[in-house]
Chain A
Amino acid sequence: MPSATIVKRVIKPAIFVLCSLPLAWLALRAFGVAGSLGANPVEEIQDTLGEWGLRLLVITLAVTPLRDWFNAPWLILLRRMLGVFAFAYVLLHFLTWLILDQGLYWPGILPDIAKRPFITIGFAALLLLIPLAVTSTNAMMRRLGKRWKSLHRLIYIIVPLGVWHYWWQVKADIREPLIYAAIVAVLLGWRFWKAKRRRSVTPAHAGVPSDPPDGLPPARE
């Protein structure tokens, strides 16, 4: 296991840089520094941001299972950064749609959110992410106490909504959404299985979690 210093000084900055790369790559192409955004730049930006938003959401959801499978408790130290990056990409994806794609044309935007199921779903996922992003600070964690964990369980709804949003806008080729759905099914299924087993194997300890609660970030860093 890497030391706390290595995690803080090396691994976290490296993850920060990695998470910024898709955005930097878009910017470089947008300004013509490296290649271009192709024939439909708005679509390219929107799709890239949405794709990375979803990928980072799935990666964030994978942190706890990976920690348990590989006995690597330090992975939890990376989860907040991954989650906040996921939110940033999802928000930028939404803003790209709102500003570049729709051109802030409200008579088009509002009916789309209300009437188009895949847009409604995506918008709902974004709305649900906002409280999680807002309460991601240490101060908020302290203030919310136990309720913080309950609140952040919203991620179990948000990520499937994100996959659904992706699935529904695909015209015919569902192979990629299917891959995301399968991964999310494993990550959520494992949690379900673990919770069930804990309840049935140790009925005496029901309601008294022996592990650090799933979803709780470290209190101190």
Chain B
Amino acid sequence: MLIKRPRPGDSAGILPSQITAEGTYLSRRTLLQAALAAGVTGIGAAWPEPASATTDLTFKRNEAFSTTEAPNSYEDVTGYNNFYEFGTGKSDPAANSGRFKPTPWTVTISGEAETTGKFTLEDFLKPHALEERVYRLRCVEAWSMVIPWVGVPLGDVLKRFKPTSKAKYVAFKTVMRPSEMPGQRYAVLDWPYVEGLRIDEAMNPLSLLAVGVYGKTLPNQNGAPLRLVTPWKYGFKGIKSIVEISFTEKEPPTSWNISASHEYGFYANVNPNVDHPRWSQARERRIGAGLFNARIPTQMFNGYEKEVAGLYRGMDLAKNY
């Protein structure tokens, strides 16, 4: 094979500086779609900004908590997202989150705990070692992915603040920044996004506070800089860009439940036997499986039955959906 090398003075040669980086090339369509979306729905910046910067993390892989299934590609994990704060389309979050600033970041701890207050993200995470866990993610819309998260066990973090005996639930809140999150300028949901767990769910070893994905800090569209991951629950429980964690005595309100209580409950456990009122939850489409691959059966608790079934013993899961 002949390879034409550019020589000095060779006007036909292409300088490295003239070559469009692959990422930039691939993002053209996203930029155009974002521009169109901005024009059509009246949200979004005048012109989308470059994708968010990520940095490498130091962590250890936790094999015991990782599935052996092949993870989805980085492009799928960071390009197909539900993060309504940046728009309701799947490619909106990647396109519209460039203006979001995940640093500096503070997390407020409040409610029924001995230690409360405002902490920088660095102080909040300092005592904990990062670990990687490859989890299945099942969206309530009946699609799924396999994602290598990097984070810390939620329970370990919460224990540091010494929750009192009144702390029956944990409530989470997403940041409210309409200037950086164009989706918050329209009340698709009652902003800011709120979520919650029962304290025993939060303390379950599977619950993860993620700060990264694929070995790097979270891109904005995935919930930078701090998000919840509860792999046995539908994806919408995984609240993103968390600014407040509160220990409460009563069950806290949750955004999708406020929006449509007959469709989205507090628990939102993955359950193939309890259908969404408008669609079946029995099977799911694995993202990245291609055009002609059939749906796969959805597993009880998304395949984490062994770890979490005990939390719900004696409960009617059709009622507590």
Contacts and interface: CB of A to CB of B under 8 A. Distances in A.
B88 A38 contact: no
B284 to A, nearest CB: 11
17 contacts: A35-B29, A39-B72, A39-B75, A39-B80, A39-B90, A39-B288, A41-B291, A42-B291, A43-B285, A101-B295, A103-B295, A105-B294, A108-B295, A116-B278, A172-B84, A172-B189, A173-B188
B257 to A, nearest CB: 12
Nearest to B140: A171
B285 A101 contact: yes
B207 to A, nearest CB: 25
A196 interface: no
B80 A40 contact: yes
B155 interface: no
| Interface SS of B by simple majority | loop
A209 interface: no
A54 to B, nearest CB: 16
B280 A168 contact: no
Contacts of A40: 80, 90, 143, 285, 287
A173 B187 CA distance: 9
Interface residues of A, number: 28
B88 A172 contact: yes
Contact of B278 (A45, A102, A169, A173): A169
A118 interface: yes
Interface string B250-272: 00000000011000000000000
Interface string A93-125: 000000011110100100110001111000000
Contacts of A101: 285, 295
B178 interface: no
Interface of B: 29, 41, 72, 75-76, 79-80, 84, 88, 90-91, 141, 143, 186, 188-189, 259-260, 278-280, 282-283, 285, 287-288, 290-292, 294-295
A103 B294 contact: yes
A38 to B, nearest CB: 7
A7 B91 CA distance: 40
A175 interface: yes
A168 B282 CA distance: 20
Interface in A126-175: 168-169, 171-173, 175
Nearest to B42: A175
Residue from B79, B80, B278, B295 having most chain A Cβ neighbours under 10 A: B278
Contact of A173 (B76, B80, B88, B90): B88
A35 to B, nearest CB: 6
Given A35-B29, A103-B294, A105-B294, A112 B280 contact: yes
A30 interface: yes
A38 B75 CA distance: 9
A168 B278 contact: yes
Given A40-B285, A173-B188, A108 B280 contact: yes
Contacts of A108: 280, 282-283, 295
A102 B295 contact: yes
Contacts of B188: 172-173
Interface of A: 30, 35, 37-43, 45, 100-103, 105, 108, 111-112, 116-119, 168-169, 171-173, 175
A108 B290 CA distance: 20
Contacts of A30: 291
Residue from B72, B91, B186, B291 having most chain A Cβ neighbours under 10 A: B291
A112 B72 CA distance: 29
Nearest to A37: B291
B311 to A, nearest CB: 27
When A and B form their complex, which 7 residue pairs have the shortest distance between CB atoms, in order from nearest? Answer: A39-B80, A103-B294, A173-B88, A39-B76, A173-B188, A172-B188, A39-B287
A175 B279 contact: no
A100 B291 CA distance: 7
A28 B283 CA distance: 29
Residue from A43, A102, A117, A173 having most chain B Cβ neighbours under 10 A: A173
Contacts of A169: 278
A103 B282 CA distance: 14
Contacts of B84: 172-173
Contacts of B91: 38
Contacts of B29: 35
Contacts of A100: 291-292
B291 A171 contact: no
Contacts of B285: 40, 42-43, 101
Contacts of B278: 116-118, 168-169
Nearest to B29: A35
B195 to A, nearest CB: 15
Nearest to A40: B287
Nearest to B286: A40
A220 B288 CA distance: 51
